[in-house]
Chain A
Amino acid sequence: MPMIPWFNNLPLWVTAVPLLGALALLFVPKAKRRVFELGALAIALLDFILCVPLWFQYDRSTAAVQWVTQMDWIPSIGVKFSIGMDGISLVLFLLTTFIGAIAVWCSFTAITERFKEFYIWLLVMQFTMLGVFICQDMFLFYLFWEIMLVPMYFLIAIWGGPQKLYAAIKLFLYTLAGGVLMLVGILAIYFLQYKTTGTYDLSIASFHNMAGAISQQTQAFQVLLCLSFFLGFAIKVPMFPFHTWLPDAHVQAPTAGSVILAGILLKMGTYGFVRFLLPIFPDILPTLMPWFLTLTIIGVVYGALVAMIQKDMKKLVAYSSVSHLGLCMLGLFALNPNGIMGGMFQMINHGISTSGLFLIVGIVYERRHVRMIADFGGLSKNMPIYATVFMIMTMSSIGLPGLNGFIGEFAILQGAFQAKPWWAVVATSGIILGAAYMLWLYQRVMFGKLDDINANMKDLNAREIAYFAPLVLACFWIGLRPAPIMKVLEKPIENLVMQINPDFYKGQDLEQIKADAAQLGIGAMEAPEREDDVEVPIQYPYQQDEDEIGEAPQTQEESLDDDGEAGSGGR
């Protein structure tokens, strides 16, 4: 495919645009509200538009990290400025710019004071989140991971509800605690790496390669190391019982904050599991898995049950997030392609539908400045467009086939059922409860008698329709045509499963199976594209050294790495 010269740096630009935009907005006088609103929106939209070519240019036939940019930063301790993306990063990267633009757009009327700071922090937030998904270096990752808290802290602490300080500090300290534990883990692996290989390298790939060395250590050490990462990510996800910062943060945050929090921030945790915890600790996972799965399943059912009796709409949606992300984790912990695919889809879908639900709560909150379910009723009558959007988001959230939520849930449950049937059966009951609490919410808010105060509420205006429309379209698009996204994720997930669960492919000849399938006439439509795949022979990691697994897909990066080494003259 033809490469535009600057194209290789496009992801870097996409990441930098929000930061540059924020810097530019710094120089605008404080009073010019409209400039901040439209400017921030323009920057966010530009960012999204810049992202679109990435989707088309991404090479789906390999699991390799693409668009690698790498240079030395602090050579003495092995820190590089290294960015690049694989399919997993790409979809979350796209999601971030997508949700980011909507978060800006929904704030025009909601934010009435200190808008300069608000939009600047929002853009900085987006920069840090994009940074997490794009970085290929542990140091950089940790940096973005922790910096991300700062804009979020201010978004909640300044523009939040009555208990904003409590919520902001809780969010900050809780997630910081997890982050610091993770730092300990990172450092432990870092020094272990020096002990075993004699080099200091903080690249993510080299950390993946440490999997073998880590498995040589004592079990207690492995468990502690794994737990340090687990806590860092589990708090961010959040998994039961580390979730209590979430309802508070959601309830107090302004709508845009909730949207970003639910849409993207929570995905950091699940992304962490996919990117770090699973591939770095494949050997200790079976030991810890029963514990992890127990927490996961409790989260699914517990989140749904607690959501059911919430009186505050935002809190209800927040607890539903606990349940949905529990499901996402269940998919990841199934350790097979379908489960992980489902988990990835659940990340995207939760990002879309839960953001949508928070926007929906935001609409009525903006109009009436109350959020209690009991304050509403019968809104379907005077807000038909709102009712339609709400219904679509509700159905997407409870996994109606044809909408996005179903694809993720189905793949997760299918994968989990394949791996651990009983866990899947219990998790499926969480889906029944999901329908119960969402429909009950809908019934209480939208159905029933309409009182005079609610009757005065206006239906969605053009701006609101404009930012809901892309979300609704995304719901339908992913629900009806998820195959292209699956195609992007397919290779990276295959690669991941080979790292973490090589037994899954044992004795299976993937190529043969695909040929059989094509012969059966199933998948004939996709057959021509598959021919590319044949060129890349599938390697079975359980037959070879650990090192080769991690290296194999990263040829592109290696060549650049060599240049970098030559430039710095070695260590």
Chain B
Amino acid sequence: MSMESSILWLIPFLPAFGALINGITGRWLRKTKIVDCVALGSVGISFLLSVFFFIWLLALEPSQRVVTQSLWVWFDLGGANVLGGLSQNVMEWAYRADTLSIAMALLVSGAGFLIHLFSTGYMSEERSDGRYYRFMAYMNLFMFSMLNLVLGNNIMMMFLGWEGVGLCSYLLIGFYFDKDFAAIAGKKAFVVNRVGDFGFLIGFFLLFMIFGSVDYNTMMGLTRDVLAQSEITLFGVTCAATWWFNLVGICLFIGACGKSAQIPLYVWLPDAMAGPTPVSALIHAATMVTSGLYMVCRMNFIYVNAETALAVILAVGALTAFVSATMGLAQYDIKKVLAYSTVSQLGFMFMGMGAGAFSAGLFHVFTHAFFKAALFLGAGAVIVACHHEQDMRNMGGLRKYMPITFISMGVATLAICGIFPFSGYFSKDDILWKVFEGWYNHGHYDGPMLNLTAWILGMLGAFCTAFYMTRLMVMTFWGDFRGAGDDPHGLRAPAAAQHNAHDGHDGHDGHDAHDAHSHHGHGHHSHGHGQHAHGHHAQADNHHGHSQHDARGYDGYSSHGAHGEHPDRNEHHEQHEQHDSHGPREVSWNMWLPVAILAGLALIGGFLNVPHSLHFLGDSHFSDWLHPLMFQREAAHGANHAVPAIEYLLQIFAVLWALMAIFLAWWIYKMDPAWSKAKAFVAMFPGLYRWVHNKYFVDEFYDLVIVNPCKRLSAQLWAFDAWVVDGMVNGAARFSVLAGRFTFWIDLRIVDGLVNAAAWILQQIALFFRAIQSGRVQHYAFVMFLGFLTFAFWRFLV
């Protein structure tokens, strides 16, 4: 172990120390900047170390680009592999920097740093109470877990990170734990992920059975030997090696479905938006949700040999990409739109992996991290600027007030829509082409129909994506600000109660309604007038307004939050004359800067991996970088054949297709300020709208089919336990008591009775004789006389 590699452990551990320091000392330091320094510093140094390792690996030969460091033996379990013999399998607490993991580490720590920076602004309202340091500690803990996940040297380490990010996600979604919907959403995320982990663990055990080890190097080394076996017998079942690989692949993919929010386990992600917006950006867009993708990519030596598993991934990915994109069409909560968009984009990534193009799928992870983090952070800035309003119907016209945020989000939107030359174009188009290529099959057009279907779904999904993103931008940034003042077109979100009724079902989706009037437990709607719907918040608002004002304002908007209630202070405000004094304004530098940087990456990031067909624009650096770790199939998709004309055709078509969607949304929402076309459409197909708006009632379906039966079963078993199982024990006790009583009765009446009866009989006899024995001589004489008479009578007369 060289000197350099001995600091590898610091990359994940620095944030862990940060979390520990802030978690322990934060209570006392919560009002100082030390909390920020620790949180940002630890992640920042991690990022710099990642850069260092990246440069170091860059200097090595491509085939040598692996650095490992073992810290200690975690535990060891004996195992057997199918090649014969037990193997001593030691799970080491070890890290591994190779091309894949260091790329992920760069992304995680880099995006993580920017989002930490953003959080210092976004969460600044929490400084006054004990929440801020806790938030920072959780975020750092998340970084530790996530870096463990990507840098771990075996699946065990990956699983450690896997569950760790799940825990942090749980803690951060439920960060505003006094809100029931947040606490419930956190729990839901954890439990749904556990369902996925079920599959992951089974896959894990199967791997353990096959390889006798879960160390990446050992497994990769043994793959060829295992495949060379004509058949493998496990648990008395004999099958071809690839059959087992398929099984492993599918089991592991179930885990990925949970973590990366694919059908049927995506339901937790939209609810996870209950967490603070930086959390949504970091965990639920840029990093954690991509860990499923990372896992598939890391296990590509399994997947290249598992055709069926790849087909399953392709199918699930395509379906998710399309279905969740349609769900995004009818959402009004800005974060919900982005959440469905994330689910959809993750589907795209899985499509790429399912088509066997692992690096194309992973590249979309990167570009998506740039533009989606930018969008989420931008949305966070918008939400802050609108005083924690999340409903897009109450926004509008923000372009004028927040130019930097607007431009950054605009760039990110063009990227996600796939407009050339923004980054999303390169990554998404590459994926779609790889999927299409499977069917195209070198000009024969006879590949699997699945590929063609997936491609069509993908194109439709891309269309929906461009549509709802344009809708989001238009509703947020164009038109007039609807947050306060007049509402000539009646566009503003209905009041909470109406909103619920409007949703058509009130019980389950309660938190949806909550989102509509935005609850973060602090500073709601500080603007004082117009919002009759929020009248019931007035008291709380007042309180918050004061407390914020008293607290030292960390950035511009924090003190701004207070001014709604204090018209007399308005004159101190520079923006007073510019517009309605309660209107939104640009956020502070520590919030717009990260958004701008991410948007910049979203703008140029695509050139990191230019497809071969566009080689005159650049090289496919990203794919080449990952190449040493990618197994056979990837090469088949490589650059060793001529570019067919259809690829160019599709590339042009894809851009036109996205532009059509953008124009359609523009036409409906921008060129018609009252949105009458959208309303007419809803009126025409109320049923369809209701289904889409309510996300096809999937949550309700799960409640009906899984959650409620499970609860019912619990109740029944509990009754069974109380009445039957415990009843038998108590019954046995009662029976013993009864038996005792009965025995006692027998004892009393029969056993003792017999004794007493004997005595009684004797007594009666005695009584009789006692009566005779009176002691009077006359009686005796009389009896003697009677006796004599009897005797005489009997003797002489008979």
Which residue from B78, B87, B182, B208 sits with its C-beta under 8 Å from A337?
A: B78
Q: How distant is A95 from chain B, measured CB to nearest CB, in Å?
A: 18
Residue of A nearest to B88 (CB): A517
Known: A306-B714, A401-B160, A435-B190. A378 touches B178 (CB 8 A): yes
Q: How distant is A108 from chain B, measured CB to nearest CB, in Å?
A: 26
* Interchain CB contact under 8 A, B183 and A483: no
Q: How distant is B712 from chain A, measured CB to nearest CB, in Å?
A: 10
A365 at the B interface (CB under 8 A) = no
A333 at the B interface (CB under 8 A) = no
Known: A309-B711, A448-B178, A517-B88. A174 touches B77 (CB 8 A): no
A46 at the B interface (CB under 8 A) = no
Q: How distant is A510 from chain B, measured CB to nearest CB, in Å?
A: 7
* Interchain CB contact under 8 A, B159 and A381: no
B499 at the A interface (CB under 8 A) = no
Known: A400-B163, A414-B208, A421-B235. A513 touches B178 (CB 8 A): no
Residues 394-422 of A contacting B (Cβ, < 8 Å) = 395, 400-402, 406-407, 411, 413-414, 417-418, 421
A452 at the B interface (CB under 8 A) = no
Binds A, one of B67-75, B550-558, B740-748: B67-75
* Interchain CB contact under 8 A, A516 and B85: yes
For A401, the chain B residues whose CB sits under 8 A away are: 156, 159-160, 162-164
For B187, the chain A residues whose CB sits under 8 A away are: 436, 439-440, 443
Which residue from B93, B718, B725, B729 sits with its C-beta under 8 Å from A480?
A: B93
* Interchain CB contact under 8 A, B714 and A431: no
Known: A308-B711, A483-B73. A516 touches B87 (CB 8 A): yes
Residue of A nearest to B78 (CB): A337
Fill in one digit per residue for B162-176: 1 if any A CB lies within 8 Å of its CB, else 0. 111001001100100
* Interchain CB contact under 8 A, B205 and A417: yes
A525 at the B interface (CB under 8 A) = yes
With A and B bound together, what is the CA distance between A302 and B722 in angstroms? 13
Known: A244-B721, A308-B714, A401-B163. A482 touches B74 (CB 8 A): yes
B90 at the A interface (CB under 8 A) = yes
B713 at the A interface (CB under 8 A) = yes
For A174, the chain B residues whose CB sits under 8 A away are: 729
Residue of B nearest to A446 (CB): B177
For A429, the chain B residues whose CB sits under 8 A away are: 198
Which residue from A244, A384, A402, A433 sits with its C-beta under 8 Å from B725?
A: A244
Q: How distant is B658 from chain A, measured CB to nearest CB, in Å?
A: 40
For B23, the chain A residues whose CB sits under 8 A away are: 388
With A and B bound together, what is the CA distance between A439 and B167 in angstroms? 11
For B171, the chain A residues whose CB sits under 8 A away are: 391
Which residue from A244, A400, A516, A526 sits with its C-beta under 8 Å from B76?
A: A526
A363 at the B interface (CB under 8 A) = no
- Residue of A381, A414, A516, A518 with highest tally of chain B CB at under 10 A: A414
* Interchain CB contact under 8 A, A523 and B88: yes
Fill in one digit per residue for B726-737: 1 if any A CB lies within 8 Å of its CB, else 0. 101100010000
Known: A517-B87, A525-B70. A439 touches B77 (CB 8 A): no
With A and B bound together, what is the CA distance between A522 and B89 in angstroms? 7
Residues 141-192 of B contacting A (Cβ, < 8 Å) = 156, 159-160, 162-164, 167, 170-171, 174, 177-178, 180, 182-184, 186-187, 190-191
For B134, the chain A residues whose CB sits under 8 A away are: 384
Known: A407-B75, A440-B187. A526 touches B86 (CB 8 A): no
* Interchain CB contact under 8 A, B190 and A447: no
Fill in one digit per residue for A506-531: 1 if any B CB lies within 8 Å of its CB, else 0. 00111011101110101101100000
Residue of B nearest to A449 (CB): B178
Q: How distant is B178 from chain A, measured CB to nearest CB, in Å?
A: 6
With A and B bound together, what is the CA distance between A482 and B75 in angstroms? 6
Residue of B nearest to A240 (CB): B725
* Interchain CB contact under 8 A, A402 and B164: yes
Q: How distant is A360 from chain B, measured CB to nearest CB, in Å?
A: 17
For A378, the chain B residues whose CB sits under 8 A away are: 177-178
The A-B contact count (CB < 8 A) is 175
With A and B bound together, what is the CA distance between A309 and B720 in angstroms? 13
Q: How distant is B223 from chain A, measured CB to nearest CB, in Å?
A: 15
B715 at the A interface (CB under 8 A) = yes
B496 at the A interface (CB under 8 A) = no
* Interchain CB contact under 8 A, A432 and B76: no
With A and B bound together, what is the CA distance between A384 and B23 in angstroms? 11
Known: A425-B202, A428-B202. A525 touches B73 (CB 8 A): yes
Q: How distant is B149 from chain A, measured CB to nearest CB, in Å?
A: 11
Which residue from B85, B156, B198 sits with its C-beta under 8 Å from A431?
A: B198
Fill in one digit per residue for A51-85: 1 if any B CB lies within 8 Å of its CB, else 0. 00000000000000000000000000000000000
Residues 184-200 of A contacting B (Cβ, < 8 Å) = none
With A and B bound together, what is the CA distance between A257 and B278 in angstroms? 46
Residue of A nearest to B148 (CB): A402
With A and B bound together, what is the CA distance between A240 and B728 in angstroms? 13
Residues 54-96 of B contacting A (Cβ, < 8 Å) = 70, 72-80, 85-90, 92-93
With A and B bound together, what is the CA distance between A450 and B178 in angstroms? 8
* Interchain CB contact under 8 A, B714 and A483: no
Known: A306-B721, A435-B190. A402 touches B160 (CB 8 A): yes
* Interchain CB contact under 8 A, A522 and B160: no
* Interchain CB contact under 8 A, A305 and B205: no
- Residue of B87, B130, B182 with highest tally of chain A CB at under 10 A: B87
* Interchain CB contact under 8 A, B88 and A418: no
Which residue from A305, A425, A486 sits with its C-beta under 8 Å from B714?
A: A305
Residues 466-507 of A contacting B (Cβ, < 8 Å) = 480-483, 486
For B202, the chain A residues whose CB sits under 8 A away are: 417, 425, 428
A338 at the B interface (CB under 8 A) = yes
A241 at the B interface (CB under 8 A) = yes
A275 at the B interface (CB under 8 A) = no
For B183, the chain A residues whose CB sits under 8 A away are: 443, 447-448
A243 at the B interface (CB under 8 A) = yes
Which residue from B90, B714, B718 sits with its C-beta under 8 Å from A522?
A: B90
For B612, the chain A residues whose CB sits under 8 A away are: none
- Residue of B78, B191, B715, B728 with highest tally of chain A CB at under 10 A: B78
Residues 307-335 of A contacting B (Cβ, < 8 Å) = 308-310
* Interchain CB contact under 8 A, A244 and B191: no
Q: How distant is A340 from chain B, measured CB to nearest CB, in Å?
A: 11
B710 at the A interface (CB under 8 A) = yes
With A and B bound together, what is the CA distance between A255 and B320 in angstroms? 50
Q: How distant is A36 from chain B, measured CB to nearest CB, in Å?
A: 35
Q: How distant is A103 from chain B, measured CB to nearest CB, in Å?
A: 27
With A and B bound together, what is the CA distance between A341 and B89 in angstroms? 14
* Interchain CB contact under 8 A, A523 and B85: no
For A520, the chain B residues whose CB sits under 8 A away are: 218
Which residue from B74, B90, B208, B715 sits with its C-beta under 8 Å from A517?
A: B90
* Interchain CB contact under 8 A, A384 and B27: yes
* Interchain CB contact under 8 A, A380 and B85: no
* Interchain CB contact under 8 A, B74 and A522: no
B209 at the A interface (CB under 8 A) = yes
A245 at the B interface (CB under 8 A) = yes
B674 at the A interface (CB under 8 A) = no
Known: A309-B715, A401-B160, A414-B205. A512 touches B178 (CB 8 A): no
Which residue from A244, A308, A413 sits with its C-beta under 8 Å from B729?
A: A244
A371 at the B interface (CB under 8 A) = no
* Interchain CB contact under 8 A, A400 and B74: no
5 contacts between A and B (CB under 8 A): A384-B27, A406-B163, A417-B202, A447-B182, A523-B88
Give 3 nearest A-B pairs by CB, closest first.
A517-B88, A447-B183, A447-B177
Given contacts A428-B202, A429-B198, A516-B88, 13 further A-B contacts (CB under 8 A): A241-B728, A308-B711, A337-B77, A381-B178, A384-B27, A407-B75, A418-B205, A425-B202, A443-B186, A448-B178, A508-B86, A516-B87, A522-B88
B residues in contact (CB < 8 Å) with A: 23, 27, 70, 72-80, 85-90, 92-93, 130, 134, 156, 159-160, 162-164, 167, 170-171, 174, 177-178, 180, 182-184, 186-187, 190-191, 194-195, 197-198, 201-202, 205, 208-209, 213, 215, 218, 235, 710-711, 713-715, 717-718, 721, 725-726, 728-729, 733
